[in-house]
Amino acid sequence: MEFTEKALVLKVGAFREADLWVRFLSPSRGMLTAFAFGGSKSKRRFCGCLDALCEVHFRVRSTGRGEYLCLEEGSLLNAPRRLRSDWQRLGLAMRCIKFLEAVCPGSQGAPEAYSLACDLLRALEEEPEPDTLFAHLFRARASREQGFGADFERCAACGAPLVQDMDQGGTTHFLFVEEGRVLCRACAGRKFAAGRPLPLSPESAYVLGPVVDAGPSAWLQLEISPRARRECAAAVDALVRYHLGLSWENTRYKHV
């Protein structure tokens, strides 16, 4: 089997003296790992494209028995420059990419994951000062696109909007993590959901709803209150930990 497709390189490692293994995200096949034999020395077949976070057009071949994939050649489509010279920016990008790897989208969720990853890199490459909440919002969006996410715009019980009256503070809503539902104060008081709830202001519901849906370019310079930052971070951490079984520990995501 042989195919050609654009891909986003996630990791590259050495394999024997001149060979490399490459972990990449394909928009139709999801996460794949392939070997680039002679990749560390070949300037004709892989000129400048076997680096992490590069967008590349690969020609891929599987072995006769389908035991592994081989990269035959690649052509560079796009390579970040600013990310490679800014360690804080690069660390933020890699934390988001590692979450995609941990979620490990198959072919069903691959187009959305690929598009989101490319939007992420473009936004971080262009933005002067990324917001510190960026990684949490990325996890919220990636989880939602893989089928795990709550509706932060309307109450799951009565359908009332949750993001109105933000300028006046509004009433507190509640996220029930175990059920993955957000209820208004009235419905939460009527015991329409089980478990211990997390409080959410209308501002937090707005950030985790419409702002997250707007994509990475909308997350870069958020002007939100300290309270909303704390609530958003706590909500995303709790949902990811409970529904995906993932926790960020020692520079990587671990299953808990």
Question: What are 159-182's pLDDT values in tens digits?
Answer: 989 886 555 456 789 999 998 899
Is the CB of residue 139 less than 8 Å from the CB of residue 117?
no
Question: Phi/psi at 88 (nearest 5 deg)?
Answer: -65, -40
Q: What is the CATH number of domain 2-78?
A: 2.40.50.140
234 membership: H or E segment, kind and range = helix 226-239
- DSSP-derived 3-state class of residue 77: strand
Report pLDDT for 170. 63
Query: Is pLDDT larger for residue 64 or for residue 18?
Result: 18
pLDDT (mean) for 118-140: 88
- DSSP-derived 3-state class of residue 214: helix
Both tokens assigned to 111: 């187009």
- Give the range with max mean pLDDT: 39-43, 101-105, 142-146: 142-146
Both tokens assigned to 213: 């849906």
- Assess whether pLDDT exceeds 90 at residue 229: yes
Between the alpha carbon of residue 113 and those of residues 4, 27, 45, 107, 129, the distances in Å are 19, 7, 27, 10, 24
- Assess whether pLDDT exceeds 60 at residue 250: yes
Closest CA to 232 of 142, 121, 134: 134
**Pick from 20-24, 54-58, 171-175, 232-236: least confident:** 171-175
- Assess whether pLDDT exceeds 90 at residue 212: yes
Dihedral sign (CA 187, 193, 195, 201) = negative
Instruction: Give the count of beta carbons closer than 10 Å to the beta carbon of residue 216.
Output: 23
Q: Where are the beta strands (DSSP E) in the chain?
A: 2-15, 19-26, 30-36, 55-62, 69-78, 173-176, 181-183, 197-200, 246-249, 252-255
**Pick from 104-108, 133-137, 183-187: least confident:** 104-108
Return d(Cα 166, Cα 169) in angstroms, integer.
5
Return d(Cα 37, Cα 73) in angstroms, integer.
10
The yes-or-no answer to whether 2-78 and 86-256 have a common fold is: no
- Assess whether pLDDT exceeds 70 at residue 54: yes
Give 132's pLDDT tier (boundaries 50, 70, 90): confident
What are the residue ranges spanned by the domains of the chain? 2-78, 86-256
Return d(Cα 178, Cα 213) in angstroms, integer.
22
Report pLDDT for 232. 95
What's the pTM value of the predicted model, to 2 decimals?
Answer: 0.87
pLDDT (mean) for 190-209: 86
Between the alpha carbon of residue 155 and those of residues 3, 149, 159, 195, 202, the distances in Å are 46, 14, 5, 16, 11
Dihedral sign (CA 80, 84, 90, 95) = positive
Report pLDDT for 167. 53
Helix boundaries (H) for 70-178: 82-85, 87-103, 110-126, 134-145
| CATH class of the domain whose range is 86-256 | mainly alpha
Return d(Cα 31, Cα 16) in angstroms, integer.
23
Give 46's pLDDT tier (boundaries 50, 70, 90): confident
